[in-house]
Amino acid sequence: MNAPRPRLWTPGFVLACLANFLMGMSFYVLMPTLPFHLLEQLRVGEATVGVILSSYVIAALLVRPFSGFVVDRFNAKHVYLVALAAYVLFTSGYLLAHTVLAYVLVRWGIGLTFAMMGTAANTQAIDIVPSPRRGEGIGFFGLMSSLAMALGPMAGLWLMDRYPFPVIFKAALGAGMAGLLVATLVRSPRKPRAGAATVLSLDRFLLLPGIPLALNLAVIGLGYGMLLAFAAIHGKQLGAANTGIFFTLMALGMMVSRAFSGRLIDGGRVVAATHGGSAAIVAGLGLMAAAGTPGTYYLAGLLAGFGFGVVYPAYQTMMVGLGSHAQRGTAVATYFCALDVGVGAGMLLAGAVAARFGLAAAFAGGAGLALGAGLFFALWLAPRRGRSPAG
């Protein structure tokens, strides 16, 4: 007789998901709108926009490797609350920034806190979720970010059309403060990291067995960074009446894929799921490059979102499965380090390529890189996975 499945939707998990959603709203309400503000108000070029947007990644990379060690040594919830409070403080800095340097400094502060906050939030969620439903739990927890990615850009673009830009900054600040309040209510188990080393060594900062997987994820993340930074501008160039629909469809694709991909991953089909997700990413970025009409542009967002919604939880589950329980925070930090590198480099690369050849060329390059990453996973990484718990 089969044992009943452990409960996933506990009060702690529900509140953790809500806090993650609000944190995402605070971040994504600015993602498509800040480039317009920088281009129009500061009179800078696309390459400079890419530098400003991606500067938070450089700061995040200074902290991210240490974040796993900190989370494994201390209470994940406490680390999360401190980092989230600091993130809210730095977000308020947008209201005072009026120069390129000021925006870079604000983005640096957000990067420092966002890195620690993301690692702690995901580690806390993994601690709350029952192990047999880890892939499903990671998928739903990430789904909250996808939902924020759908509603945040739409809210930001709606506000930009009707109000002065400081209102958008205040909306981001308000969402962050609400997320901090909800996060204080989360009751999560403090799981002792048996075997968590007190001696500082490289494997306390990065999960060494996961480095090849992380490097491949970073290449995949290039396309995601390109879309976050420049999809709205590309849509305007194509004549799209409402670029917020792109982000809504992208998030819808993520939500649809996450709704079933978690069960595939927990059922031992993580490799097959990754193959399908990678193909959808390549198709979405390829359509983005070839788009000549708003309809094709919107379809590209749906396909890309579907692919990222499968690939991201699959890679996170595989990464966590490569480490011991004592290295859970380190595994999560390694995963996010890879995303930081990929997303930040994608913003920089798209800005540099667009300045010389146009955004279509940048998205075409992203599609080619995603194809290469998918082939490398299929031909090299997947055959060497063996029979790990992650599938």
- What value, to the nearest 5°, has the Cα angle with vertex 379 and ends 375 and 384? 130
pLDDT band at 390 (very low <50, low <70, confident <90, very high): very low
Whether 97 has a pLDDT exceeding 70, the answer reads yes
Q: What is the mean pLDDT of residues 354-367?
A: 95
DSSP output for 282-332: HHHHHHHHH--SHHHHHHHHHHHHHHHHHHHHHHHHHHHHHS-GGGHHHHH
**CATH class for the domain made up of 11-187+205-384:** mainly alpha
What is the C-alpha to C-alpha distance for residues 263 and 269, in angstroms, rounded to an integer?
A: 9
- Which residue, among 338, 303, 350, has the nearest Cα to 220 in the 3D structure? 338
Share the mean pLDDT of the chain: 86
Give me the percent of the chain exceeding a pLDDT of 90.
45
pTM score:
0.76
What is 54-92 written as a DSSP string? Answer: HHHHHHHHHHHHHHHHHHHHS-HHHHHHHHHHHHHHHHG
Which residues lie below 8 Å from residue 78, measured CB to CB, with a gap of 6+? Answer: none
Instruction: Provide the angle, in degrees to the nearest 10, between the axes of the packed helices 328-357 and 100-128.
Output: 140
pLDDT over threshold 70, residue 387: no
Look at residue 192 in the predicted model and tell me its pLDDT: 56
Closest by CA to 203, choosing from 97, 61, 333, is 333
Residue 388 predicted with pLDDT over 60: no
Residue of higher predicted confidence among 304 and 329? 304
Rounded CA gap, 160 and 169, in Å? 11
Is pLDDT of 62 > 70? yes
Which pLDDT value is given to residue 48? Answer: 86
> What's the gap between Cα 171 and its chain centre?
20
Mean pLDDT computed over 41-69: 82
**Position 107 pLDDT exceeds 60:** yes
- For residue 221 the two structure tokens come to 């993340």
pLDDT above 70 coverage of the chain, percent = 93
Asked if 151 and 252 touch (Cβ cutoff 8 Å), the reply is no
Burial of 116 (0-12, 13-18, 19+ CB in 10 A): buried
pLDDT of residue 223: 96
Predicted local confidence at residue 204, as pLDDT: 60
Q: What is the pLDDT of residue 105?
A: 93
Strands, DSSP E only, in 131-262? none
Which band of pLDDT confidence, cut at 50, 70 and 90, is reported for residue 181? very high
* 178-182, 247-251, 281-285: the lowest-pLDDT one: 247-251
How many Cβ atoms are within 10 Å of 84's Cβ, its own excluded? 28
* pLDDT tier for residue 108 given thresholds of 50, 70 and 90: very high
